[in-house]
Amino acid sequence: MIRVLKLSARSSLTVGTMYICAAIALSACRPHGGSTTNDEMRALPTERQLASLPLGEIAGAAKLRSPDEIPNPLEGNAAAISEGHQLFISMNCAGCHGYDAKGGMGPNLTDKFWRYGGMPSSIYKSIDEGRPQGMPAWGRTLPAQDIWKIVAFIETLGGAVAAKQYHAGLQGDHDVTFVAPEAESLLGVFDRAGGGAAVVGIDAGSAPAAASPQREP
Amino acid sequence: MRSANGTVAAICFACAVANVAVDPLAASNASTDAMASTPSPIPSADFSPNDPAGEWRMQAHDYANTRYSSLDQINLGNVKRLKIAWTFSDGAIYGHEGAPLVVGSMMYVVAPFPDVAYALDLSKPGSPIKWSFAPDPSPMAVGKACCDAIIRGWAYANGKLIYNLLDDHTVAVDTQTGKEVWRTKMGNVENGETMTMAPFVVGNKVFVGNSGGEMGKIGWLAALDVDTGKELWRAYSAGSDDLVKIGESFKPYYSWLKGKDLGVSTWPADMWKTAGGAAWGWISYDPDLNLLYYGTSNPSPRVPVQRPGLNLWSSSVFARDPDTGAAKWAYSFTPHDEWDYDGVNENVLIDLTIGGRLRKVLVQFNRNAYAYTIDRATGEVLVAAPFAYQNWSSGIDMKTAMPIVRPDKEPKPNVKLSNVCPPDIGGKDFQPSAFSPKTGLLYAGIFNICMDVTDHRQSYIPGTPYDGMEMTRQAAPGGHWGEFMAWDPATGKKVWSINEQFMTMSGVVATAGDLVFYGTVDGWFRAVNDRTGKVLWSQKLGSGIVAAPMTYLGPDGRQYVAVYAGVGGAAMVSAAMPGFPPRGSTLYVFSIDGDSIATALEMPATEPGGTSKQNDNSQAGRH
Amino acid sequence: MMPMRGCRITGLACIVALSACSYAPMTYMRTYGPAADPVTSLGWGLTIICSLVVALIGVLVLIATLRARVARGLLSTIPIAHPGGGLRWIYIGTGLSTLVLFALVVWTMFTLAAVASAPERPAFTIEIRAHQWWWEARYIDDASDRTFLTANELHIPIGKPVQLRLIGDDVIHSFWIPALAGKTDVIPGQTNSAWLEATQGGTFRGQCTEYCGAQHAHMAEFVIAESEADFDSWWTRQLADAPVPTSKLPALGESIFLARCAACHTVRGTGAGGIVGPDLTHLMSRRTLGAGTVPNDPESLAHWIVNAQAVKPGCRMPALDLSHEEVAAVTSYAQTLL
């Protein structure tokens, strides 16, 4: 009997130790959470960057500078797009813009007409700030990351403008087959070599280039 | 007995046929004689407030909502000569759903958003603008209106033009000067509430209701003082009996509508606050019973699994005392509605004989594809017969007047349910019907549409849709989307119908000239023989027609027929159909030969040193 | 050899028996309700019968071996024919086994029938919707206005069967309260049925038992069985709207909550109607946060609000950018949601 008890105790100890070891081993495995890590969060555009993006064209002869290019850090990220689609439904975007995003109470998000700009940062701002004809401001409700996920989803719908296409977006340059020479440079006749007009602050990168559709001057 | 009547009728009909060859007008007279000789009288209506025959002072023409004009200058004999007399474009692109009002020699129209009102002087050639009034409503309302930034009508009372702005304000404009008299704020557009309905005036009160059944707004009907705009009472469509104004005088006919605080107990905890039941449709009034009749919209959200219970008082019709708002009776057409079958369509008040007894009834062509004939004193459902293709129910249990729902047509979240008929917009939407006392029939534009629907459970986020229905729509068996029909309210049967490829979403006007007028979503405006259903005249207009037509007598003694052509509203669900028209904003006014006050004008000289008299209206009104 | 084997068996039996007595919230050795008791009885019965069978066979083998040893001693005599009786033993053995197995089959059938559905009409229904990684529960009564939503913690009355409807929201989960009921998968697009009844009071823990993603391990549910009177008063309290905050900090917290949290969470009595996350109207009536991840105490609550991702990485609640004051205000508001 004593032998039995001793063996029992040893068995119990063995079993117990096994459990403890397993627990320690398993606890070291932290499940990897979410679709974005802290690294990706650091890469989100800042409030300041977004604030510097104007809605209209930059006034005057300041042809030369486009606002900084502000890409969507989650663009093309499959998990973000899927989550953005989920948010599109759960935040009632689909209720106004349609489950197919082709519009209803709110405008069509799949076409190339963007009243407030179709670049990712413009779409972000429309969601973040709201717009006058009934688009609510989501910036206080949704964290920036979630809004970028929704933008990533909208970018897959076919109508959005690329992040660097500030001028092309404002000028309606989609589906362009040929760019006439006059239209290649932003200020037209003022840009001609030997022209008399004083042009302020020429940006070297803005020289007219060979005709190619949708090329940014 | 019956065979004897049959013989008499047959003889009279034979005479009528013989007469048609000689004089078209006699045909209608002969038919009337034949009808008069049968024992049961044809349905009739009370045309109070009996406005002057040549005027059109309220959207539905009269309290009973008959939309019937006793003018017969335009009739079976001459309707083929109908031509455009003049047009007016108000420049607003959203759907045009209202009918002009004519009071004396003035015509009043209100454009959809931004809700600018115009007074047109009919006594001058070309009906120039006497004044216009721009109320500057908030642009936010455009994005909160579920079904286009439309306006469904306006009202006239005591020298004031009274209408609702999309952004929840009711305004009154002095019809002499075009200046604002009062403006009452009725709700908060930020929370998703809008107002689109046509106010309804009885005596010194104007009744207005909200829109927002897709936005989680609780519905209500309010009474304002016509002269000051002060709110006198407001009755909600859900909540405690106190809010719904259910009290001692409330006597519903059916037992499942009796009980305390049903507007709370038929909803999960707290969900009555986002109940829907908006009163965005038409109102009618019986001056003898002193009762207002109006319907409430679908329950909110449009995902039924989120709200088990009967969901009273959505998708219902109410009878209320106009002085206090107290409910007299109510009936829910589609309790626990699962398909967006609102109850807001017009309730036409007529008197007819059923089962040998004369009954005062209301007739509603409900969204759920059933046409109801209901005793308007008690709320008893006398007839409930389908007028359009439907497969959501296998009938109405006439003992309880509750529908028998087919379980396979009940949507479940995330599951696509195919071919549910009728769709959310129903067998008929708000487009109002008309009644002719000469034929005893009702005339309505209806739909022949089905939907595939997938429900998605929704959060309630104020200011955003509380909706959840993802739908595609297609034609029902037959392939045509629209149908214009004549309906017998006593027997619940279709007498004749005209199929239309596009939706028939216009209102109807019936006239003593034995004509009914309707329009299609692709822009055809038609005149039809109200007995035989034969189309006698058609005119293609600049845009689709979703408005109600009307008719009036101009100061020149001519009869005119007017209708707006500006497609929009819920007709946009068929916008993908090839041939669907773009938007429009034009009022078309027709007369025989297109004659009007401008016809006999002397034109200014076009050649130096000469005057010319010619029927060229192109320079008319130039100054 | 012999004593070792016997000792091991006895040892194992002791461990099993000990574990049934010790604090093991997820044990299925002892159950407390008719939805699980028959299965537990069957389990124990099978264990005992099988142990007896093993013991019996062990004894028989022992005897046979000993007899063989004795027989081997007479090596001079080469047996031609074995003294008879072997076939009889086979017949007896097979016969007994068949009878016992058949009896067990019958017992199993009865057990399955007993746990398949509630013995009497259930008092009410709880509709459970499984999300990643929490349990939404809707209590459904005949009277519609007594229907309400809660999360993760279920109360049931002692001695009354409760019907469960199980619906998956996103992926397959599985519902299991070891002390009360067996596992039932919760599958999107399908409604599965189960039922519960507790014969005594107490807190019974359950766990999601179908791997469902990163936080599958932190998807617990709790069933609290209590007296009828306590249960009725719990239901009534759950129906109540959240109170309007009367002091400054919770009032500030409420306004922050409505701006930042209402799109995902519901608090009845306010305009917060989000259904993405759990209903928080009576958050403080629950003992844990995050479906059993952390206890529901003020500190854990504040940590959760500030950065739920640090507490339960990958869960659907994002990290919020809140200042210290805002966190204090929202925590103080949350604590009024009794």
Note the ipTM here: 0.86
- Please report residues of C whose CB lies closer than 8 A to that of B274: 273
Q: How confident is the model at residue A214 (pLDDT cuts 50, 70, 90)?
A: very low
C143 close contact with B: CB closer than 8 A: yes
Q: Where are the domains of chain C?
A: 31-75+82-116, 125-239, 248-334
A12 neighbourhood in chain C, CB within 8 Å: 11, 14-15, 18
Q: Which residue of C has its CA nearest to B217?
A: C271
* Residue A10: pLDDT band with limits 50, 70, 90: low
| Percentage of chain A exceeding pLDDT 90 | 45
Which residue of B146, B463, B470 is in closest CB contact with A136?
Answer: B463
DSSP state of B152: -
Q: Quote the DSSP letter at residue C5.
A: H
CA distances from B114 to A193, B173, B212, B567 (A): 50, 15, 19, 16
Which architecture, in CATH terms, is C125-239? Answer: Sandwich (2.60)
Closest by Cα among C132, C142, C157, C180 to C317? C132
Omega cis (within 30) before C134: no
Chain A residue closest to C15 (CA)?
A12
The predicted pLDDT at position A47 comes to 87
Domain extents for chain B? Answer: 1-39, 40-592
pLDDT averaged over every residue in chain B: 92
Distance of CA B454 to the CA centre of its chain: 29
pLDDT at B593: 96
Where does the pLDDT of residue B11 fall: very low under 50, low under 70, confident under 90, or very high at 90 and above? low
Interface of C with A in 233-252 (CB under 8 A): none
Q: Do C145 and B414 touch (CB under 8 A)?
A: no
pLDDT of residue B538: 98
CATH of span B40-592: 2.140.10.10
pLDDT at A187: 76
Side chain identity, residue C124: F
* Main-chain dihedrals φ then ψ at residue C253, nearest 5 degrees: -60, -35
pLDDT in tens, A92-151: 999 999 999 999 999 999 999 999 999 999 999 999 999 999 999 999 999 999 999 999
What confidence score (pLDDT) does residue C23 get? 74
Taking CA–CA distances from C276, the nearest residue in chain A reads: A90
Verify whether the Cβ–Cβ distance C273 to B460 is below 8 Å. Answer: yes
pLDDT tens-digit readout, B338-370: 999 999 999 999 999 998 999 999 999 999 999
Say yes or no to pLDDT of B194 above 50: yes
Read off the pLDDT of each residue in A40-66 and give the average, rounded to a whole number: 77
Q: Spell out which residues of chain C touch residue A145, defining contact as CB-CB under 8 Å.
A: 318
Residue of A89, A134, A136 with shortest CB distance to B456: A89
Q: Which residue of B has its CA nearest to A101?
A: B470
Give B-chain residues touching C189 at CB under 8 angstroms: 414-415
pLDDT at residue B582 greater than cutoff 80:
yes
Report the SS3 class of residue C64: helix
Q: Which residues of C touch B264 (CB under 8 A)?
A: 145
Q: Give the distance between the most distant pair of CA atoms in chain C.
A: 105
Residue B536 has what pLDDT? 98
pLDDT at C44 over 80: yes
Nearest-CB residue to C276 (from A7, A90, A143): A90
Report residue C98: phi and psi, to 5°: -60, -50
Distance CA B296, CA B311 (A): 12
CB contact under 8 A, C263 and B267: no
Mean pLDDT within B222-247: 98
pLDDT at B607: 56
| Min Cα–Cα distance to chain B from A204, Å | 43
> Is A52 in CB contact (< 8 Å) with chain C?
no
What contacts A18, CB < 8 A, 6 or more positions away?
Answer: none
Give B587's pLDDT tier (boundaries 50, 70, 90). Answer: very high
Q: What distance in Å separates the CA atoms of residue C13 and residue C48, rounded to the nearest whole number?
A: 10
SS (H, E, C) B336-385: CCCCCCCCCCCCEEEEEEECCEEEEEEEEECCCCEEEEEECCCCCEEEEE
Give the pLDDT confidence score for residue B220 in this predicted structure: 98
Q: What pLDDT was estimated at residue B24?
A: 42
Mind telling me how many Å the CA of C114 is from chain A's nearest CA? 35
Interface mutation target, options C124, C131, C142, C145, chain B, most CBs of B under 10 Å = C145
Among C216, C35, C223, which residue's Cα sits nearest to residue C126?
Answer: C223
- Looking at the predicted structure, is the pLDDT value of residue A43 above 60? yes
pTM score, two decimals?
0.86
B298 noted as active-site residue: yes
CB of C75 within 8 Å of a chain B CB? The answer is no
Q: Is B601 or A4 the better-scoring residue by pLDDT? A: B601
Per-residue pLDDT tens over the stretch B475-534: 999 999 999 999 999 889 999 999 999 999 999 999 999 999 999 999 999 999 999 999
Residue found under tokens 């012999």: C2
pLDDT at C79 over 80: no
Q: What is the pLDDT of residues B284-314, one digit of tens each?
A: 999 999 999 999 999 999 999 999 999 999 9
Pick the catalytic residue: B167, B214, B338, B488? B214
On whether any CB of chain A is under 8 Å from the CB of C310, the answer is no
Judge whether C142 is closer than 8 Å to chain B, CB to CB: no
CA A103 to chain B, closest CA, distance in angstroms equals 11
Looking at residue A66, what is its pLDDT? Answer: 74
| Residue A197: C-alpha distances to residues A57, A61, A190, A200, A217 (Å) | 21, 11, 6, 10, 19
Chain C nearest CA to B241, separation (Å)? 15
SS3 A216: coil
Q: Does C275 touch chain B (CB under 8 A)?
A: yes
Region for residue B401 given its phi and psi (left: phi exceeds 0; alpha: psi -120 to 50; beta: otherwise):
left
Separation between Cα atoms, residue B370 and residue B391, nearest integer Å: 11
For residue B413, what is the DSSP state?
B
CA atoms within 13 A on the CB side of B158: 15
Could you tell me the pLDDT band of residue C118, with boundaries at 50, 70 and 90? confident
pLDDT for C129: 97
For residues B364 and B388, is the Cβ–Cβ distance under 8 A?
A: no
Segment C174-193 mean pLDDT: 94
With a cut of 50, say whether residue A204 has pLDDT above it: no
Tokens for A9, please give them. Answer: 């105790």
Banded pLDDT at B402 (limits 50, 70, 90): very high
Confidence check: pLDDT of C213 > 70: yes
Which of these is catalytic: B75, B164, B298, B529? B298
Q: B588 and B549 in contact (C-beta within 8 Å)?
A: no
More confident residue, B401 or B15: B401
CA distance A205 to chain B (A): 41
Give residue B613's pLDDT band: very low, low, confident or very high (50, 70, 90). low
- Secondary structure of B182-236 in the HEC alphabet? EEEECCCHHHCCECCCCCEEECCEEEEECECCCCCCCCEEEEEECCCCCEEEEEE
From the number of C-beta atoms within 10 Å of its C-beta (0-12, 13-18, 19+), residue B65 rates as buried
More confident residue, B316 or B356: B316
* B459: nearest CA partner in chain C: C274
Architecture of the domain whose range is C248-334: Sandwich (2.60)
Chain A interface includes C17 (CB < 8 A):
no
A15 → closest Cβ in C15, C314, C320: C15
Task: Give the tokens for residue A93.
Answer: 């975007």
Cβ-contact B387, B428 below 8 angstroms: yes
Closest Cβ opposite residue C269 in set B270, B308, B461? B270
Closest CA to B589 of B152, B96, B122, B68: B122
**Assigned token pair, A59:** 């006034």
d(CA B455, nearest CA chain C) in Å: 12
Distance CA C299, CA A159 (A): 47
What is the spatial distance between Cα B123 and Cα B428, in angstroms, rounded to a whole number?
Answer: 37
The upper half-sphere exposure of residue C280, i.e. CA atoms within 13 Å in the direction of its Cβ, equals 29
Least confident of A28-32, A174-178, C32-36, C275-279: A28-32
| pLDDT at residue B20 greater than cutoff 60 | no
Q: What is the mean pLDDT of chain C?
A: 90
Q: How many CB atoms lie within 10 A of CB B397?
A: 12
Provide, rounded to the nearest whole percent, the portion of chain A with pLDDT above 70.
67
pLDDT value for A30: 40
Burial (Cβ within 10 Å: 0-12, 13-18, ≥19) of residue C167: buried
Please tell me the distance from the alpha carbon of residue B163 to that of residue B176, in angstroms, as a whole number: 16
Q: What is the pLDDT of residues C295-317, one digit of tens each?
A: 999 999 999 999 999 999 999 99
Instruction: Please tell me which residue, A193 or B244, carries the higher pLDDT value.
Output: B244
Give dist(CA B189, CA B7) in Å, integer. 63
Task: Say yes or no to pLDDT of B181 above 90.
Answer: yes
Nearest-angstrom CA–CA distance, A139 and A123: 12
Q: What domains can you pick out in chain A, each with its CATH number?
A: 75-174 (1.10.760.10), 176-217 (no CATH)
> pLDDT tens across C18-41, in order?
655 567 888 888 899 999 999 999
State yes or no: is B231 an active-site residue.
Answer: no
Q: In the predicted model, what is the mean pLDDT of chain A?
A: 77
C300 three-class SS: helix
Angle value at C-alpha C85, between C81 and C87, nearest 5 degrees:
100
